[in-house]
Amino acid sequence: MRKPAVRPPLSPLNHTKGNPVTSPKSVRRRWLGSVAAVAASSLLITGCASSSGGGSSSSSGGSSGGGVDGKTVVFIPKSLGNKYFQASDKGGKTAVEEFKGKFQEVGPTEASPTAQSSFIQTATQQQAGAIVLAANDPNAVCADLKAAQQAGVKVVTFDSDTKCRDLFINQVTVQGVADGLVDLMGKHLNGTGKVGIESGGPNATNLNAWVDAIKATMAKKYPNVQIVDVVYGNDVDADSYNAAKGLIQNHPDLNGIIAPDSVAVKEAGHFLSDSPQYQGKVWLTGLGLPSELKDYVHSGVIEQFGLWNPEDLGFLAAYAAKALMAGDIKGKEGDKFEAGKLGSYTVGKDGEVVLGPLKVFDKSNVDQFSF
């Protein structure tokens, strides 16, 4: 089928050889172009046609109960080389090896909205058992995820959700963040004092939800702890430093700062390190990365802070994928599954599974984490 398509255009070429005067370069070039184009397209298309019978799409598998041995779980982080996802994927690898699946980590080098698309397609093609994804964009990869699901691949998201998946592993709920941070602060102040909040951007939806929840929880659990101010550092180092400075200088009787934002807590710690006169007077806590805060923890500027453990997050996501692959659960509300050392989990509303309460970091464990 390919040959006849290629042949005819060849004859004028032969002709030009014998009669060079009538062969301007442009004509020859055009012929060559079309020959090659026809050859290329026919190859592509015949290539497809011939294999469409045998190979067929990957919908054969599905997961009919029981064994997940040897099934591949493909972790797709937002981008490679990100410490946070290196940690979560490490947890995922541990879990997958525990239940004797095959672990694979692939991903883009840059976190653009559509960069994960081709990796999802490839995993679908390779008939992976499950894809565990931290989505760069809630929508951009939906078409590909749906195609994956149709081909029998289970889809679990973590860190960042999409609108098309079987399960979402949420690191922590809004209330979980509020409870964790309010308890750390409330206990340290013995239930009385004045506290400021330093957040990131004033328009960040998740941060605002946390700030509101912290206010409400504090009022309920520790009514004598007064939240005097909320300042914003815009997720920028210098702004966050100045926001902490302003907060402390404007409220001379301030006892504590809650910073539910990793830049804010880091820079508030930075300001306290630079200002020994406030150390011991203002107690700082928040959500931060162990790698960024460990110096402050060792120098005593920060005693305790919270975060979730990304390794556990990846570990749980892998076990959720396993339960889906084995057909133990469908991802409906109320479904229960076991997640190894983390224990038993129940699927909540909208197919969400919550990892658990905040993990508290202090001198004893801050060095154990790479992220």
From candidates 8, 12, 36, 274, binder to other proteins by CB under 8 A: 36
User: DSSP code of 368?
Assistant: G
Supply the minimum distance, in Å, between the C-beta of residue 211 and other proteins.
18
Residue placing its CB nearer to other proteins in the complex, 51 or 299: 51
> Which of 158, 129, 163 minimizes the C-alpha distance to 144?
163
62 contacts other proteins (rule: CB under 8 A): no
Q: Find the binding residues for other proteins in span 213-252 (CB under 8 A).
A: none
Supply the minimum distance, in Å, between the C-beta of residue 152 and other proteins.
14
From candidates 3, 4, 17, 344, binder to other proteins by CB under 8 A: 17
Give residue for tokens 């045998």: 54
Q: Find the binding residues for other proteins in span 96-125 (CB under 8 A).
A: 104, 106-110, 112-114, 117-119, 121-122, 124-125
> Which of 313, 319, 296, 299 minimizes the C-alpha distance to 358?
313
143 contacts other proteins (rule: CB under 8 A): yes
Residue placing its CB nearer to other proteins in the complex, 45 or 216: 45
Count of residues near other proteins by CB under 8 A: 54
CB 206 within 8 A of CB 195: no
CB 293 within 8 A of CB 361: yes
Radius of gyration of the chain (CA): 28
33 contacts other proteins (rule: CB under 8 A): yes
Supply the minimum distance, in Å, between the C-beta of residue 9 and other proteins.
12
Rounded to whole angstroms, how far apart are CA atoms 149 and 81? 27
For residue 259, the cross-strand partners are 286
From candidates 7, 8, 32, 274, binder to other proteins by CB under 8 A: 32
Rounded to whole angstroms, how far apart are CA atoms 262 and 4? 65
Q: Applying CB under 8 A, which part among 38-46, 293-301, 309-317, 333-341 lies near other proteins?
A: 38-46
Q: Find the binding residues for other proteins in span 284-343 (CB under 8 A).
A: none
DSSP 192-259: -EEEEEEES-TT-HHHHHHHHHHHHHHHHH-TTEEEEEEEE-TT-HHHHHHHHHHHHHH-TT--EEEE
Residues that bind other proteins (CB under 8 A): 13-14, 17, 20, 26, 28-30, 32-33, 36-37, 39-40, 43-45, 47-49, 51-52, 54-58, 80, 104, 106-110, 112-114, 117-119, 121-122, 124-127, 137-143, 203
